[in-house]
Structure 1
Amino acid sequence: MTTLRQMLTAHILYSPSFQALIVYLVVVRVGLAFIEQMALLVGPRVLLNIGLGKYHKPRYEQRLFLYLDMVASTTHAESLGDYRFSRLIQDSFSLLADTVTNNEAEIYRYMGDAVLIHWPLKDGIKEDRCFNIYHEFSQQLSWQRQYFEEQYGFVPKFKAAAHCGQVVAAVVGVQKQEISFFSDVLNTLARLQDQCNPLGQRMLISGSLQSRLEYSDSQYNLNSLGPIKLKGKQHSIEVFGVTPKTVK
């Protein structure tokens, strides 16, 4: 009986069909692992859109962008050195993952100590999403206070700005492709974020975004700071500071 079982097992293991099945499963698993890694590198939605050819021809879209930037990053980089500063950036942005997913956003680009996040406009203005990411991220950093103080001697802080408008989205590149956005919206966003320190604010939004927001159940206060002339811009824009409502 044992000999018969062994013969059957050997017959199955060494049969061409079984070996072909093993090779097929290995190829499928390697393929899925490759797709998973590509999705992590460029984002699952970006990978899908590139695969479908959605942006091979430039197209107009309405987008909302959120720009997060570390406060006093130059000072931190000088005090920590390049290696420890890069670890600080890794540790900080690793806390962004869940809140970005929970608020149905996408990472557009990491830029050293800054990150650019975006939504289709109609999705970004829902349920305070464009505010939630910044304040939840700040909360996560605060909750990890002990770790950051032990590793780096301080808890990193970030400032933020949000702006929206029409952009042109298109796939660029050949060997390495990505979906890029072209618009003055991004330039205005960067200039707006530069005003956080002069205006003494942690988060700013433009009047264009403020006019599109839904206020009925908002958990945040918007404080008008008046028209502000941004660097390199001919005309002033309305600017608002964002703070969470205090729970009574």
Structure 2
Amino acid sequence: KRLIKKIFSKYINPYIMEELLKDPTGSLSTLGGQKKEITVVFADIRGFTTIAEHLGAENVVKFLNDCFSVLSEIIFKYNGTIDKYIGDCIMFFWNAPIEQPDHPYLAVKCVIEMFNELKKMNEVYNLPFGFKIQMGAGINTGEAIVGNIGSAQLMEYTAVGDTVNVASRLQELTKEFNVPIVISEYVNNRLNNRVTTIPLGKVVLRGRHQEIEVFGIKL
């Protein structure tokens, strides 16, 4: 149990931790690796390079840490699992390590709240030259391999596979379509009209051959 707490304390909120520890024959037995449906989000803080040029090294680190702290709290509020931070991008997902019904909707609600919180941060920070913290997010639902991956020295609970790659590509599309959030048809089909989405058409994502229908969410 100490090992589980050490691995997961940075990535999941206390509620999910307790659920994991309650069920040693269930969720814990799958931590070595399993294939399951998850909803993955890639959220990228925009304009960071430009902001960094004017803030100085120490302020840049503080700024990024403040942003990620706020966003992480919201992810934990919706019981999401933080996978990793990649520069000024954060990857997180739902439905692992524990089952979470309606995970596509949970992910969308979480991301919308993240955008609302960034608006408040812009008012507080009052960045120089009128800069605003902006973000783009891609959301996808599908099967992925989830488990502890790494070496004896550094082990991380992570998700890998095409579903994850698609979420990353969808995040890139937010710039092309000029919308803050782009979701796949697999997410859209599970929202049951609880969120207003905009059809963006079918696209062939970078690195893939098959078309996928994508949708935008405006705030």
The TM-score by the shorter chain falls in which range? Answer: 0.7 to 0.9
Does residue 1:223 correspond to 2:198, yes or no? yes
Question: Equivalent of 1:161, from 128, 138, 150?
Answer: 138
Question: TM-score, with normalisation over the residues of structure 2?
Answer: 0.81
Matched with 1:235 is 210
CA distance in structure 2 between the aligned counterparts of 1:177 and 1:37, rounded to whole angstroms = 10
Matched with 1:29 is none
CA distance in structure 1 between the aligned counterparts of 2:155 and 2:210, rounded to whole angstroms = 35
Question: Equivalent of 2:182, from 196, 201, 204?
Answer: 204
Q: Is the 8 A contact 2:148 2:158 kept in 1?
A: yes
Q: Is the 8 A contact 1:168 1:183 kept in 2?
A: yes
Q: Which moved further from structure 2: 91-100 or 184-193?
A: 91-100
Question: Equivalent of 1:137, from 114, 137, 141?
Answer: 114
Question: TM-score, with normalisation over the residues of structure 1?
Answer: 0.72
Question: Equivalent of 1:174, from 132, 145, 152?
Answer: 152
Cα RMSD, aligned residues only: 2.9
Q: Point out the structure with max Rg over C-alpha.
A: 1
Which runs of no fewer than 5 residues in structure 2 stay unpaired? none
CA distance in structure 2 between the aligned counterparts of 1:213 and 1:200, rounded to whole angstroms = 22
Q: How many residues align?
A: 206
In the TM superposition, what is the alpha-carbon distance from 1:182 to its structure 2 partner? 2.0
- The higher-RCO structure (CA 8 Å, 6+ apart) is 2
Matched with 1:61 is 36
In the TM superposition, what is the alpha-carbon distance from 1:240 to its structure 2 partner? 0.2
- Identical-residue share of aligned pairs (%): 23
Matched with 2:75 is 100
Q: Deviations over 1:48-93 (max 9, x none)?
A: 57x844322x311100011110112222223333332221111112
Q: Deviations over 1:180-201 (max 9, x none)?
A: 2221111111111111111111
CA distance in structure 2 between the aligned counterparts of 1:169 and 1:35, rounded to whole angstroms = 15
Matched with 1:124 is 103
In the TM superposition, what is the alpha-carbon distance from 1:150 to its structure 2 partner? 5.7
Q: Is the 8 A contact 1:42 1:178 kept in 2?
A: no
Matched with 1:23 is none
In the TM superposition, what is the alpha-carbon distance from 1:41 to its structure 2 partner? 2.7
Partner SS for 2:83: strand
Q: Is the 8 A contact 1:46 1:178 kept in 2?
A: no
The structure with the largest helix share of the pair is 1
Q: Deviations over 1:192-229 (max 9, x none)?
A: 111111111110001122122232xx1x2111011012
The residue identity in structure 1 corresponding to 2:61 is S
Q: Deviations over 1:141-171 (max 9, x none)?
A: 2223342116896331111110011111232
